[in-house]
Amino acid sequence: MNLLSQFRVIGYLEGMSFILLLGLAMPLKYMFDMPMWVTVVGAIHGFLFVLYVAYVAFSMFKLRWTLSKGFLALIASVVPFGPFFFDAKLLRQKQV
């Protein structure tokens, strides 16, 4: 598996963990007093977020991404569904 494919997988996992955190864990915590979900999903998401940021930096170096492309990837990581839109942008550019 090449670097870009690895980045896409990490982006997918990070995006899914963020959606699970916002859409499942947070409502369970605040509506049903079940904070353990936020603890578990939040830890997983935190790990995947750090991994995603590291892959962005590594991709900028190895794949010679521009600063604007790297910045867009980082912005995508903090917006719900952002990694999926960034992945679609990568596919449109035919870099996969």
> What are 40-75's pLDDT values in tens digits?
999 999 999 999 999 999 999 999 999 999 999 999
Longest dimension (CA), the chain: 47
Beta-carbon neighbour count of residue 5 at 10 Å? 10
Mean pLDDT over each residue of the chain, to the nearest integer = 95
For residue 23, name the pLDDT band (cuts at 50, 70, 90). very high
Domain regions of the chain by residue span: 3-91
Locate 86 and state its tokens: 């960034």
